Amino acid sequence: MLKVLIGASVVVAVGAFAIYWMTSMPGNPVPTEPAGVLPDEAELADELRSIVEHLAVRIGPRSMQRPEQLERARRYLAARLTEQGYEIRELAYGISGAQAPAVNIEARRSEAKGQLLLVGAHYDSVGDHCPGANDNASGVAALIALAKRLRDISARTPIRFVAFTNEEPPFFQTPLQGSVRYVDA
């Protein structure tokens, strides 16, 4: 009986040591503080939040069923891009039965030659009930933030920032989808 007890104790001790050895870190841990948020990152986060809140909260749902809100969003985006020194070109197209035309917004700074870089996002939201914070005010916020940060580069490189409309059903994957109309123009 004593041999069994000693054997079991050895097995438990070896098992405990093995678990400790496999799960402990060698050496002494180095105490570190989180890096925190850099000032530029905090500024960018505030900028992105402000744009998303403006579109999703102050303006709200943006669709052809809510033409007034869609128009307010269009004016807001055009103004934000104009503030950054971009030339705005509005590409409107009609939709049968709609109260207002659909308008894609293109921002450019120069007619530089070379490979074109196109940055796009859509500013409409689903139906007349959805504020569209993550679909797609967040994409538009990123587009505006990129336009701001690339404005000097875009004077030398052909970059177009385009905010599309009518990317949601019933226009999605039809010839009336804003990005399709932009490419076909």
- How much is the pTM? 0.78
Pair 174, 88: CB distance under 8 Å: no
What is the structure's pLDDT at 26?
66
pLDDT tens figures, 19-73 = 776 676 666 766 666 666 677 889 999 999 999 999 999 999 999 999 999 999 9
Torsion of CA 65, 67, 71, 73, to 10 degrees: -30
Q: What is the mean pLDDT of the chain?
A: 88
Domain at 39-184: CATH code: 3.40.630.10
- State the Cα–Cα distance between residues 180 and 166, nearest whole angstrom: 10
Supply the pLDDT for residue 1.
72
Average pLDDT over residues 12-19: 72
Burial class (CB in 10 A: 0-12, 13-18, 19+), 91: middle
